[in-house]
Chain A
Amino acid sequence: MRTVPGAPIQTKGFINREVTKVKKLGILSTLLVLSLILGQSAIAAERLRMSTTTSTENSGLLKVLLPPFEAQAGCKVDVIAVGTGKALKLGEAGDVDVVLVHARKLEDKFVADGFGVNRKDVMYNDFVILGPAADPASVQGAKTAAEALAKIAEKQAPFVSRGDESGTHQKEKELWQAAGVTPKGAWYVEAGQGMGEVIVMATEKQGYTLADRGTYNAFKKAKTNLVIVFDGEKGLFNPYGVIAVNPQKHPHVKYDLALKFIDFITGAEGQKIIADYKVDGDPIFFVYR
């Protein structure tokens, strides 16, 4: 019903109908929002919050590792996958109940500062240096990872860094230090993104990068033509640790559930799932015997 500007209001009934329509809409939306807010606490299944790294999540391991635990413990695990730095910060703030990361030095600091308790080794894989098949910096001849990076710096071959304080980035920084080089210049690119994006970027630039073997295995079929130019050194060892957030610092965390989770993934059943997990026939993680 069109109203003409300046003309008197048509009918009282019309306004009343419009007002009722809006009232109904208003009540409906308020109820919707209220039920959502209240429903959050009411929705039965207990939720365990875990922060982990993007590489762990992207490997797909959690999709097979979590459901058996969720069934046994009668809960749901909320996985928040971010860079290692942020994962630990979430633990410090008490925004999550348990942390699964791979940066030993940072993990130790996390526990020493009292933010985490009951740290356990879970699994490991290793880092590899990726590069173009042509290997312009002759990395393949290097005897150590540090030497490999030194060669790249000398040649000023393109190198893409995670640049995001992740476990991979920490390892990369250690290697540059061991090589006695401060990487700087147009050849050294700090992407500030996840492992996948960095591998893609390095592929585009036909440059080098440090990656975890798991992500590389997931990418090597179709998403990158880079090859492993260096691997196998003890210093490239990449261990994963799980830590419960300290209930003394954050009384609200689900400490018992977190301990149950830690026991599960370090126990026989969880370790078997981890060891058996393969992508395209390649194992991604290895367990301690």
Chain B
Amino acid sequence: MDFLTESLRAALALILTLDAEVVGAVWTSLYTSVAGILLAAAVGIPVGTLIGVGRFTGRRAVLTLLNTLMALPTVVVGLVIYGFLSRQGPLGALGLLFTPVAMIIGQTVLSAPIVANYTVAAVAGADPRIMTTALTLGAGRLRAAWQLLLEVRFGVMAAVVAGFGRVIAEVGVAMMLGGNIRGYTRTMTTAIALETSKGEFAFGLALGLVLMTVALIVNLFLNLLQQR
């Protein structure tokens, strides 16, 4: 039990002294997760809108598939992409394995289904008159879809926040594709995994508290954006 209080103290020390390795890990976590969620939103929101608004054969099957993709274990996503990016794999020549770019790709694949799924829910739950009204007023299909998204922007924002939460907190993809290389692909989560494997529970938990603080700040920021 006492490693809990020890870790609180250690967390404060880490934050106040701005330990270089911790700052590096925080920065890596942040920029890979942000890049990942931006790409995921770029893919997930349009796809989600199409599925949410569209009526086509196989829509139910697609929705079920989307739901299943959300339950993918991170380590499985990591393994599949590893298969692609390893030198033995089809994209091996790009030499992306064990680089931050590989991690970003993984985070995107991980969070895109979440963003798409929540967007489907938001869009499908919107008032159906929005689209039709926009279209009757002469808006092109794209503008009409845009108006719809504006209307459900809180839901879409929730989609992005949910996706972001998933990628900043995960360790499977970051570990498999990044390799936990010190000063290069070590994120908060892989650093925590490393410290716990060394039996440094207090330090691991301290890093966890730092991660939670960072996530809190990011979500506060996103919240502010929402209120505008």
Partners in one complex: yes
Report A's interface with B, CB cutoff 8 A. Answer: 3, 5-9, 15, 18-19, 26, 29, 32-33, 36-37, 40, 49, 54, 58, 76, 78-81, 93-95, 193-194, 196-197, 199-200, 218-219, 223-224, 250, 252
Query: Could you tell me how many residues of chain B have their Cβ less than 8 Å away from some Cβ of chain A?
Result: 41
Residue on B with the closest CB to A250? B87
In the complex, A15→B180 CA distance in Å?
A: 44
Greatest chain A CB density within 10 A among B31, B88, B134, B197 is at: B197
Are A93's CB and B127's CB within 8 A? no
- With A5-B129, A29-B39, A93-B86 known to touch, is A196 a contact of B197 (CB < 8 Å)? yes
Residues of A within 8 A of B184 (CB): 76, 78
A-B contact pairs, 5 of them (CB 8 A): A15-B147, A33-B104, A37-B101, A94-B92, A199-B199
Are B133's CB and A6's CB within 8 A? yes
Binary contact track B131-143/A, C-beta < 8 Å → 1, others 0? 0011001010001
B146 at the interface (CB under 8 A from A): yes
Residues of B within 8 A of A49 (CB): 98
Are A9's CB and B139's CB within 8 A? yes
In the complex, A6→B129 CA distance in Å?
A: 6
Residues of A within 8 A of B63 (CB): none
Greatest chain B CB density within 10 A among A26, A58, A78 is at: A78
- With A5-B151, A32-B38 known to touch, is A15 a contact of B143 (CB < 8 Å)? yes
Are A6's CB and B130's CB within 8 A? yes
Residue on B with the closest CB to A66? B182
Are A78's CB and B130's CB within 8 A? no
In the complex, A179→B83 CA distance in Å?
A: 39
Residue on B with the closest CB to A2? B151
B67 at the interface (CB under 8 A from A): no
Residues of A within 8 A of B87 (CB): 93-95, 250, 252
Residue on A with the closest CB to B151? A3
Q: Nearest 6 pairs between A and B by C-beta? A: A94-B87, A29-B38, A80-B179, A5-B127, A223-B199, A78-B181
Nearest chain B CB to A65 CB, angstrom units: 13
Are A33's CB and B38's CB within 8 A? yes
Residues of A within 8 A of B99 (CB): 40
Report B's interface with A, CB cutoff 8 A. Answer: 31, 35, 38-39, 42, 86-88, 92-93, 95-101, 104, 126-127, 129-130, 133-134, 137, 139, 143, 146-147, 150-151, 179-184, 196-199
Are A200's CB and B133's CB within 8 A? no
- With A33-B104, A78-B179, A95-B97 known to touch, is A5 a contact of B130 (CB < 8 Å)? yes
Greatest chain A CB density within 10 A among B38, B96, B151, B183 is at: B38
Are A58's CB and B104's CB within 8 A? no
| Of the residues A6, A32, A78, A200, contact of B35 by C-beta under 8 Å | A32
Are B151's CB and A94's CB within 8 A? no
Residues of A within 8 A of B183 (CB): 76
Are B88's CB and A9's CB within 8 A? no
Given contacts A15-B150, A36-B31, A80-B179, 15 further A-B contacts (CB under 8 A): A5-B129, A6-B133, A9-B147, A18-B150, A19-B146, A33-B38, A36-B35, A40-B101, A58-B198, A93-B88, A196-B198, A197-B196, A223-B199, A252-B87, A252-B93
In the complex, A19→B88 CA distance in Å?
A: 43
Are B88's CB and A33's CB within 8 A? no
Residue on A with the closest CB to B93? A252
